[in-house]
């Protein structure tokens, strides 16, 4: 995000530097109560984080979890965050793509067919990157029930959840009841919502005895490889960063409206696939702009605007790009104006 980091976090980091408190990370007992309090106020849900494990980022927590469980096949739901594709390259894992349906819902029947076929793990992205979609309670419950019927495990990446806009209900996977508690772990961090990705800290947790069992094989060193700056900044974010978060959500929700109206004005041939319900990413079909085989290359090289290639989110998305709209309205308008200057009329 193109916005200044929350003042309490900047002050905290300044103090760590000023007092030379930059050694290895020890225990972080403050994290569990800080996250529980945040989740109770935000989502009316009390997570059980007694078995939470720290990692340097969500990617490492996920990869280590899959590695520790000797996973060989994983379901993803394209179009989906490029990390899901790239992280798995580290492991000898076959990616099974069950794309979202045409109206951007989870294809529960398709997912269940894969569970029935013995695929035991799924990476759920909720809220969904790149769409900004927040899956509803019914869809998530159906997913948990399907996973439970086949003894599958859902790794729910909820990193964008704190950025859910007012008027949309975000339901954490582990808040769905017994089926979800038997089948799920959540990976999350403050790195996206408070713009701290460079600080390197995240955590993974499951509920109760089942959660403890799922997390037990994770390597102990995963915790120590996380950063003292990141781990304690998460505590400050959950405790003291909520006003900043709320005002940032207002800003990005307004920015998403600006993006939608400016796309309609400047690039009417491009299609915003969905008005986001969370986060600051937009999924745009640019096939109508006639920018050639790799539209993102022309947009970068000639327009000097950086977008994420659709193919990063699934190999079939040859004419989609992902736009980050967490910036000022002026920059967004300038970016779209430059893209519009490249667009060729249909021949």
Ligand X SMILES: Cc1ncc(COP(=O)(O)O)c(C=O)c1O
Does the footprint of ligand X cover residue 126 (CB under 6 A)? no
Does the footprint of ligand X cover residue 253 (CB under 6 A)? no
- Can you spell out the DSSP letters for 285-307? E-GGG---S-HHHHHHHTT----
Report how far residue 88's alpha carbon sits from residue 263's, in angstroms, rounded to the nearest whole number.
34
H helix runs in the chain, sequence order:
7-18, 31-43, 58-68, 82-87, 108-116, 137-150, 178-183, 208-215, 221-224, 228-240, 242-266, 295-301, 329-342
For ligand X, which is the closer residue by CB, 280 or 342?
A: 280
- Can you spell out the DSSP letters for 59-119? HHHHHHHHHHTT--EEEE-SS--HHHHHHGGGTT-EEEE----TTS---HHHHHHHHHTT-
Q: Find the part of the chain contacting ligand X (CB under 6 A) among 186-194, 215-223, 304-312, 335-343.
A: 186-194
Q: Is 104 left (phi over 0), alpha (psi -120 to 50) or beta?
A: left
* DSSP state letter for 19: T
Does the footprint of ligand X cover residue 125 (CB under 6 A)? yes
Does the footprint of ligand X cover residue 197 (CB under 6 A)? yes
For ligand X, which is the closer residue by CB, 58 or 119?
A: 58
Q: Which of 157, 181, 262, 277 binds ligand X (CB under 6 A)?
A: 157
Minimum CB–partner distance for residue 77 and ligand X (Å) = 12
**Structure tokens, 206:** 């499951």
Minimum CB–partner distance for residue 307 and ligand X (Å) = 14
Does the footprint of ligand X cover residue 196 (CB under 6 A)? no
Q: Find the part of the chain contacting ligand X (CB under 6 A) among 54-62, 94-102, 248-256, 263-271.
A: 54-62
Q: Which of 35, 81, 238, 244 binds ligand X (CB under 6 A)?
A: 81
For ligand X, which is the closer residue by CB, 198 or 345?
A: 198
Does the footprint of ligand X cover residue 195 (CB under 6 A)? no
Report how far residue 159's alpha carbon sits from residue 317's, in angstroms, rounded to the nearest whole number.
23
Does the footprint of ligand X cover residue 203 (CB under 6 A)? no
For ligand X, which is the closer residue by CB, 126 or 183?
A: 126
| Interaction site with ligand X (CB under 6 A) | 57-59, 81, 83, 125, 129, 157, 159, 189, 191-192, 197, 202
């Amino acid at each position: 995000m193109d916005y200044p980091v929350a003042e309490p976090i900047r002050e905290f980091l300044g103090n760590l530097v000023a007092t030379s408190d930059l050694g290895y990370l020890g225990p972080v007992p403050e994290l569990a109560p800080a996250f529980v309090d945040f989740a109770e106020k935000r989502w009316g849900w009390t997570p059980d984080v007694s078995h939470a494990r720290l990692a340097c980022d969500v990617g490492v927590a996920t990869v280590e979890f899959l590695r520790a469980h000797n996973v060989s096949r994983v379901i993803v739901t394209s179009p989906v965050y490029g990390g899901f594709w790239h992280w798995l390259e580290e492991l000898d894992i076959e990616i099974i793509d069950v794309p979202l349906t045409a109206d951007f819902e989870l294809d529960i029947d398709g997912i269940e067919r894969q569970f029935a076929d013995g695929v035991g793990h799924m990476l759920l992205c909720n809220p969904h990157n790149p769409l900004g979609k927040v899956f509803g309670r019914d869809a998530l419950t159906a997913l948990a029930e399907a996973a439970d019927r086949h003894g599958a495990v859902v790794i729910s990446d909820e990193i964008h959840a704190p950025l859910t806009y007012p008027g949309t209900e975000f339901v954490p996977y582990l808040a769905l009841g017994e089926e979800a508690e038997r089948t799920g772990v959540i990976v999350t961090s403050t790195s996206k919502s408070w713009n701290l990705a460079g600080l390197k800290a995240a955590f993974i947790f499951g509920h109760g005895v089942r959660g403890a069992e799922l997390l037990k094989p994770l390597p102990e060193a995963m915790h120590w490889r996380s950063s003292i700056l990141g781990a304690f900044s998460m505590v400050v974010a959950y405790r003291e960063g909520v006003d900043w978060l709320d005002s940032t959500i207002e800003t990005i929700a307004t920015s998403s409206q600006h993006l939608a109206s400016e796309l309609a004005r400047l690039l009417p041939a491009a299609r915003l696939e969905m008005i986001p319900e969370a986060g600051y990413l937009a999924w745009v079909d640019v096939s109508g702009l006639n920018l050639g085989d790799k539209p993102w290359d022309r947009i970068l090289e000639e327009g000097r605007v950086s977008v994420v290639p659709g193919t990063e989110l699934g190999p079939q998305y040859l004419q989609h790009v992902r736009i980050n709209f967490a910036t000022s309205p002026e920059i967004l308008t300038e970016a779209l104006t430059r893209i519009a200057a490249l667009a060729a009329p249909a021949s």
